Amino acid sequence: MLHVPVEPDAPTARRWALEELADPVYRAQESLLDRVLAWLSEMLQSLQGPALPSGTAALVVVGVVVVVVAVALWVAGPVRVGRARAARAGAVLTGDDRRTSAQLRTAADEAAARGDHALAVTERYRAVVRGLEERAVLDERPGRTAHEAAQDAGRELPDVAEPMRDGGDVFDAVVYGGRRADAQDDARLRALDDAVRAARRRPVPVA
C-alpha cells in the first residue's frame, strides 16, 4: 500500500504542484485565472534553483497548490451558473414550463389588460410555439429559441414564415434585448397567433 509522505521534499512537492496545475479544470477557466496560473507555474519552475531551503520550498509549493485549488473552485461555481443561464438564454419555453397554449394565451390577455405589454408579448409568442407543439407541427423541444421556432414553423407552414420571424424578433428584443413593448407590439403578436392557428400544412403533391 502506497503511503503519501506527510512532508514531501522540494522536488516531489514541485512535481505535485505542476501536475495539479496541469489539470484541465483549471485550463477551462479563462482570462484572469489563466494569467494567475501562468504566473504560478513560472514561480514553481523558478524553485528549481537553490533560492530556498528544501523544506521551506516544499511548504511554499504545497501552500500555493492549496490557494490555487481554492481560487479555482471559487471561480468555477459562478462560471457553471453563468453557463447554465447562457444555455437558457434565448429560449422561448423552458423545460419546467408545462402550461398549455390556452393557459399562455390567458396569461397574455391578462397582462395586456393591465397594461403589461412586455409580458403580454412574451406569453403570446410562447402560446404560439406551444400551440404548434400541441398540433405536432413542431416537436416538443425545451430551450428552442425564437429564431429556431420561426425557422422550423416556416418550413411546415410557409404562409406564416415571415410573420413568425417578425414575432420572434419582437420576442427576443423585448425579453432578451430589454426593449419596451407597447400596444402595437401586442396587436402584432395577437395577429400572429390568429394567423398561425388558422394556417395549415400544404398538401404534398402526388407524384
* pTM value > 0.75: no
Q: For residue 62, what are the domain limits? A: 10-88
Q: Would residue 94 count as lying in a domain?
A: no
Q: Distances from the Cα of 2 to the Cαs of 5, 93, 127, in angstroms?
A: 9, 53, 62
Cell digits of residue 152: 422550423
pLDDT at 193: 97
Q: Could you tell me which of 64, 60, 58 has the C-alpha nearest to residue 13?
A: 58
User: Which pLDDT belongs to residue 83?
Assistant: 40
Structural domains of the chain, count: 2
Per DSSP, 146 falls in state H
Last residue of a domain, one of 56, 88, 120: 88
Instruction: Dump the DSSP string for 159-193.
Output: GGHHHHHHHHHHHHHHHTS-PPP-HHHHHHHHHHH
The answer to whether position 207 is within a domain reads: no
105, 75: one domain: no
Q: Give the pLDDT of residue 111.
A: 97
Mark whether 124 and 176 lie in a shared domain.
yes
| pLDDT at residue 81, as a whole number | 39
Sign of CA dihedral 107, 117, 138, 161: positive
- 74 with 117, same domain: the answer is no
Among 59, 88, 117, give the residue marking a domain's end.
88
What is the structure's pLDDT at 169?
95
pLDDT in tens, the chain (207 residues): 555 555 566 666 666 666 665 555 544 445 556 666 666 667 666 655 555 555 565 566 556 666 655 555 554 444 443 444 433 457 899 888 999 999 999 999 999 999 999 999 999 999 999 999 999 999 998 889 999 999 999 999 999 999 999 999 999 999 999 999 999 999 999 999 999 999 998 766 665
